[in-house]
Amino acid sequence: MHKYVELAKKTMEEYIKAGKMPAFPEPLDDDMKEKRAVFVSIKKDGQLRGCIGTIEPCYDNLAEEIIQNAVSASTRDPRFPAITLNELDKLSISVDVLTLPEGINSMKELDPKKYGVIVQSGFKRGLLLPDLEGVDTVEYQVSIAMQKAGIYENEPVELYRFEVKRYY
């Protein structure tokens, strides 16, 4: 298990068991000092159980970004009830570290296996991670991201792409 996933798992366990954040890992490895956007995804029996992340970094370093998103993914994802103590040993966790989003001019510059997508219309913004099971076309990827943002089909959108490094 990668150290990013270990940090997310330890955070979730401590928060769910004791209702508090774990002790911050000190000293931080150089890579943990970076300021990066992160998604923490949780699955149970192969099905999504929670997924929360940041499009842009919100905290001072990668460790804090992972800690905050692990708590949110396990207890605050509005699509699911909070994870319970008796579920903890049945979960699989992944941590996606995002590159900075880059604006693109057309959907031809996307590949749902390689790039995640951000769609934006005014203040509405939706994101979909890359390489998700069942998301095989650019059109479907963009459609899901638009739906998540509440953007209608006929609204003009700005498109951004990013890559992720996924850790298990």
From the number of C-beta atoms within 10 Å of its C-beta (0-12, 13-18, 19+), residue 140 rates as middle
Residues 66, 118 within the same domain: no
The structure's pTM equals 0.94
Q: Are 54 and 60 in contact (CB under 8 A)?
A: no
In a domain, residue 168? The reply is no
Mean pLDDT of the region 152-157: 95
What pLDDT does 65 receive? 97
Domain that holds residue 52: 3-98
In a domain, residue 149? The reply is yes
Residues 93, 24 within the same domain: yes
Residues 88, 108 within the same domain: no
89 vs 161: CA distance, rounded Å: 34
Residues 123, 143 within the same domain: yes
Confidence band (pLDDT; 50, 70, 90) for 12? very high
Residues 39, 91 within the same domain: yes
What pLDDT does 57 receive? 96
Residues 11, 35 within the same domain: yes
Token readout for 11 is 């955070």
Residues 93, 55 within the same domain: yes
- pLDDT, tens digit (0-9, with 9 covering 90-100), for 61-95: 999 999 999 999 999 999 999 999 999 999 999 99
Q: How many domains does the chain have?
A: 2
In a domain, residue 61? The reply is yes
Whether 121 has a pLDDT exceeding 90, the answer reads yes
Q: Domain holding 135: CATH number?
A: 3.30.1490.150
Eight-state DSSP code of residue 99:
P
What pLDDT does 23 receive? 82
Mean pLDDT of the chain: 96
Which strands make up the sheet holding 158-162, listed edge to edge?
102-104, 158-162, 116-121, 124-128
Q: Domain holding 20: CATH number?
A: 3.30.700.20
